[in-house]
Structure 1
């Protein structure tokens, strides 16, 4: 708008001469100067007040600069032609020199300030800088007011500006141009401030050009020069205000917004699980406590949901894969409409679910069955299909607890019991507390069992059906508790796996089995082999190969007589399983897949993994005569193993008709109570010949039956 106003003024300069009448020019000039002086003093005062907070040398010297300019502009105003008498009579000499000094001071000072490196300085420099500015002002005042007129005339009334004034004016323009160049070069460092200072510099340059061409103080060019000078000072004031007040305020608002977002983020992180994005245990517990306090009359159900065999999957597949399992289960749970249910995530492998109101136990049981059905469809995670089972413990309010802590504790206790239930869910009852305490005592005693010599190895024969003889023995651990007597492996093995005791126990089993087999070889049973089960934790031990090699060396047992049994879940991490099995094979030991068909089977892996033997789980053998699907699965496994040149061992053979079926399907080896239950080493040594003879009889009978059928 000012530039548009400038164009007609330049074209109609002569007609507009003294357009405001001579007596009004003094008033207009005074108005301009009051605004310029006010702007200068404002800049100086702002810088003075802001400096103690920012300690910026640039802001300090900018304030000092405009402090001196404001004082020079005051004297320029009161000495302007036509102004009343103040110090001395008004003359063009004094007024023009005060203006010229002010203008050059502003241009040079601004240039020096913007090219200087911004840094923080001590607060005492404020007084020093402003004192210097005041002394600078006094020095020029003394020179200009000197009676002898030490300086030349800058304006000749009626003729116009002199060469000296125009040169000084052009010097100010050049300095202002240099300021613009520097500001453009560093424009990105402070876009808003630099933009306003560039605009201010352009206006001041236009004002300077007007002041080089006017012939009289009543010239319209003089008026326009003051107008653009005022605009220049206004934008300088804007620039300082922006950097000193507006920008810090905006930064403060941004900081507050970031702080608010950080607080919201921290609150979210504090109350939500990072992996599944579900409310975490803290949030869940607070929500539950709030609900019980607000609606104590309602019957409420609390469920703790655990992913079954999650630890085995975690150890065999790694943390990244198990994280994907947790996310997949969480996503499927969230897809379900629980009506008045609230889903949360506990630590590790557990989820929580509570219902604000529930009718009875049957409704809670229905919910559990619905959850199990929800998990029926296999999960497709990366290249694997996984069957996920949930263990669920249920506590009801107010039957099983009066507050959140009691309910969660009792639901946790029920969850432990659910692992042993066919339905995989269990309601809390007070007897479970005793059972849990009993389990804790058993865990405590198990820590000492190995050192006290309470653990024993029993051996179950594996019979070659074609040869009719015992070819191998599977080593099975047993625990004789000093007070409880024999403790079932199904009771203490899960405890050992959870606590990590399975690792030292597994090492003991391996060393003891190798030593015992060597003892039998020395007694004359030189063709026997021994099969030892590896736990998941053992399989993922980094020193497993060294442990096996050391056990063989100490027992002086050739590696070919040792067979290591692993479960299918251990082979899910194909890369690791392939490498570790290859190392074990290089030692010369045999590898068997135990309980084949019950875990995470992938027949595709059988051809790639260095495996010697597949063991068919007893659950298939048990119903082979009554369940055509089990029979078909066994036949398929045997057929595939035959083509892959793998040995097949069927476990859990207890009846003759089961043996006949396996014989017809050309199963290589069998083991089970039909031939012998697991027995101590002493009993096996004593009854070995008898067991061998019995095995031969069974196999001969099968041969006769087959011959008769032909």
Structure 2
């Protein structure tokens, strides 16, 4: 936009010079028609005075150009500027002698006559365009200060040499003007040469117009004025002729425009560049300030700004609060959808927070994709809780980013000053500790307690160890057999991950899986589980020559990978496991974002993979989504199976799931079978598959191969013992 404005201004200024030229040409035509009347008005006696005034103005202009370049060029020392100043220094001296030697002026060395005056004028007329052409054609470069003295000295030498030629005792050059007859042929030829040089200069400037449009237009306008003066100077009959006067007017205009051009290039343009450089510097400083103190994505004050603000605002004589909040699932969203979606989500979260939190509270964005809200007023605890609840309620509404609908919740931690911390950094850190712990409580909101610091330290250590666990092969899989009650055989198994820590021993998945989900490690770990399970299942099929099927639990982070279906296909191809031998288990919580999950599940079905819904019955959304999701199997959660305690026991939820599955033509797997009464109940109610410690605990791959026949025999004995009569 600024570039267009500059171009418009440049065009207007250039158009102004063109319009001025046209107006002057119109005046020239008018003067030609009424030259006799104008001659009569001025009178012959006044022409010398008028001419003197015009020449003095020309001298002032040319000498002004020379002095201006002399004073300004020493700061830049550009060769073109220095040569331009030297040229006009010589022209100014020639103009001085032309003026004092003009006919009618007082005696100077010899009596004033057209001979001296016209030759000094012709020196100006020829040196000007030739000098401008030569200067325009040289390459711009920086020179030393001595070049300035050398250039001006050469100009002075040229002037002195020409002065001695003109004022030699006997005329060395032929006259250019004859009294009463007008200009001679030589004068007209020289004038024509000067005009041709001006035309050559115009052509050269037009060819290089884009490099310096403003300066070129000024030089072209000046050359046009000089050409008009050439025409006038070859048509007058004596020095008092009106055309001679008018020629001097155009000559003055030509030098005036030249002065404007030199002023623009040597003073105005460098000054404008300096102003522009200062503006860019100020803009750069502002940009650097914004980069240093504001978050690029949300435009909120960043962590550095917050700490500097806290140094000024924390006051020991009143209670102040720090709220740190984080939208859950951010790491899973980043690892699956990419940073672009995460940035858009963070910006939308920031906007919601700003719309809710009162303006007198300070909101900032922390480095760990968290938001801090500092309450400097002495507010009550219930007021802080109310702000947190409103924030949590607002975040439950889905965020719509392109074709994704992201649903999540907000974890909030609150610390108090000076109760929990005596400086800004500890105040923020303790609020973060409370926020991390809040993710595990129903309200998802907690005030800081000193015991939280110890728990967070252990969690950070465990997260760091988990990073190394995948690299050091500390993770491994165990398999729990799934028994088909109709064939009474083990035809499938569920893959379960375990971690053997080098110092702490076996760590429960309930402890490290949430850490993996929060840190984003769940995606590489989940892909490792999937590939390992497929590979070992293929080995198991080869070992026993049976089409075993393996069930693998999926995380939400895996499903949010842009290329998850391709990952599954690649693993199946790499391990040579048939697609119908793989079953992927999802949980009810994953069905919340149906817009994203549904097409992925359909794509998995298309490649032959079956889908199971794990922990069925513990959520609230599955019944409404069963008709939409391409589900093959329901897994009854162990909490419902545990309620079956006798042969005559009746569990309505289990009955409902079994009945519904039959109508929907879905298979059912019951988890957590530990006693024979549970097995008996499920047999009598036509459950399809069971798994649990009654048949076998989870086994390593090697143990599974060794105990396969034992599991088969044990299962058949159990079923025969409890089979209903």
* Bin of the TM-score, shorter chain as denominator length: 0.7 to 0.9
* Match of residue 572 from structure 2: 585
Q: Trace 1:217-366 onto structure 2 (pairs within 5 A).
A: 217-293=239-315, 296-357=316-377, 359-366=379-386
Q: Which moved more, 1:127-136 or 1:489-498?
A: 489-498
Deviating more after overlay: 126-135 vs 242-251:
126-135
User: Normalising by the residue count of structure 2, what TM-score does the alignment of the two structures yield?
Assistant: 0.81
- Structure 1 position 52, deviation (Å): 3.1
SS in 2 for 1:679: coil
Match of 1:663 among 650, 658, 680: 658
CA deviations over 1:312-367 (Å, ceiling 9, x no partner): 22222222233333233233333334343332211243222222325332222222
Which 10-residue stretch deviates more, 462-471 or 172-181? 462-471
Q: Secondary structure at the match of 1:649?
A: strand
In structure 2, do the counterparts of structure 1 residues 433 and 141 end up closer, same or farther at CA, with 3 Å as the change threshold?
Answer: same
Moved more, 686-695 or 220-229: 686-695
Is 1:621–1:630's contact at 8 Å kept on the other side of the alignment?
A: no
Residues 129 and 596 of structure 1: is their aligned pair in 2 closer, same or farther, counting only changes over 3 Å?
same
Q: Aligned runs of 1:623-662 on 2, under 5 Å?
A: 632-633=623-624, 637=626, 646-652=632-638, 653-656=641-644, 657=651, 658-662=653-657
Decide whether the 8 Å contact of 2:326 with 2:412 is kept in 1: yes
What does the per-residue CA deviation read over 1:541-572, in whole Å, with 9 as the maximum and x for residues that have no partner? 7x975996489669975795462514252454
Deviation at 1:435, TM superposition (A): 2.2
Change (3 A) 1:18 1:174: farther
CA spacing shift, 1:220–1:689, aligned 2, 3 Å: closer
Give 1:301 shift.
2.1
| Secondary structure of the structure 1 residue equivalent to 2:374 | strand
Distance 1:281 1:559 in 2: 59
Task: State how 1:12-23 maps to structure 2 within 5 Å.
Answer: 12-17=34-39, 19-23=41-45
Written as runs of structure 1 = structure 2, the 5 A alignment for 1:434-473 is: 434-440=454-460, 442=462, 460-467=480-487, 470-473=490-493
RMSD: 3.6
1:565 aligns with 2:560: no
- 1:182-201 deviation digits (Å, cap 9, x = unpaired): 22333332222222222222
Q: Does 1:621 align with 2:617?
A: yes
2:415 to 383, 391, 395: 395
The Cα of 1:256 is off from its aligned counterpart by 0.9
Q: Which runs of 5+ in 2 are unaligned?
A: 1-22, 645-650, 676-691
From 367, 374, 383, the equivalent of 2:403 is: 383
More displaced 10-residue stretch of structure 1: 236-245 or 149-158: 149-158
Q: 3-state SS of the aligned residue for 1:248? A: helix
Q: Which residue of 1 aligns with 2:158?
A: 136
Q: State how 1:77-226 maps to structure 2 within 5 Å.
A: 77-226=99-248
Q: Deviations over 1:7-54 (max 9, x none)?
A: 432222223336434443322222222221222122222222333333
Question: 2:512 — aligned with what?
Answer: 492
* Mapped partners of 1:488, 1:545: distance in 2: 21
**2: distance between equivalents of 1:452 and 1:233?**
85
**Superposition TM-score, scaled by structure 1 size:** 0.82
CA distance 1:559–1:189, change in 2 (3 Å): farther
2: CA distance, partners of 1:596 / 1:103: 95
Is the alpha carbon distance of 1:630 and 1:207 closer, same or farther for their aligned partners in structure 2, counting shifts above 3 Å?
Answer: closer
State how many pairs are aligned. 655
Query: 2: CA distance between counterparts of 1:258 and 1:188?
Result: 24
1:492 deviates by 2.9
Which residue matches 2:598? Answer: 603
User: 5+ residue gaps in structure 1?
Assistant: 503-534, 624-628, 705-710
| Equivalent of residue 63 in structure 2, options 26, 36, 41 | 41
Q: Is 1:302–1:396's contact at 8 Å kept on the other side of the alignment? A: yes
Counterpart secondary structure, 2:314: helix
2:495–2:551 CA contact under 8 A, matched in 1: no
Conservation of the 8 A alpha-carbon contact between 1:55 and 1:121: yes
CA shift for structure 1 position 242: 0.8
Equivalent position of 1:510 in the other structure: none
Cα deviation for residue 115 of structure 1 reads 3.8
Matched, 1:32 2:54: yes
Q: How much has 1:413 moved relative to structure 2?
A: 0.8
Following TM superposition, by how much is the alpha carbon of 1:164 offset from its aligned partner in structure 2, in angstroms? Answer: 1.6
| Residue equivalent to 1:524 | none
Tell me how far 1:310 sits from its aligned partner: 1.8
SS of 2:440's equivalent in the other structure is coil
> How has the CA–CA distance of structure 1 residues 99 and 588 changed in structure 2, closer, same or farther, with 3 Å as cutoff?
same
Structure-1 separation of matches of 2:718 and 2:391: 47
**Contact preservation (8 Å) 1:207, 1:226:** yes
SS at match of 2:589: coil
Task: Tell me by how many angstroms 1:640 deviates.
Answer: 6.7
Separation of aligned partners in 1, 2:634 and 2:492: 13
CA gap 1:556/1:53 in 2 versus in 1, 3 angstroms? farther
Shift of 1:410: 0.4
Q: How many angstroms does 1:395 deviate by?
A: 0.9
Where does residue 505 of structure 1 map in the other structure? none
Of residues 696, 706, 709 in structure 1, which corresponds to 2:719? 696
Residues 247 and 579 (structure 1), Cα distance of their counterparts in 2 relative to 1, 3 Å cut: same
1:645 Cα deviation after fit:
8.0
Pairwise CA distance, 1:536: 1.8
Q: Distance in 1 between matches of 2:203 and 2:571?
A: 75
Aligned partner of 1:369 in structure 2 is 389
Per mean C-alpha deviation after superposition, the further-off stretch among 559-568 and 269-278 is: 559-568
Distance in 2 (CA, whole Å) between partners of 1:445 and 1:202 is: 84
- Which of 688-697 and 97-106 deviates more? 688-697
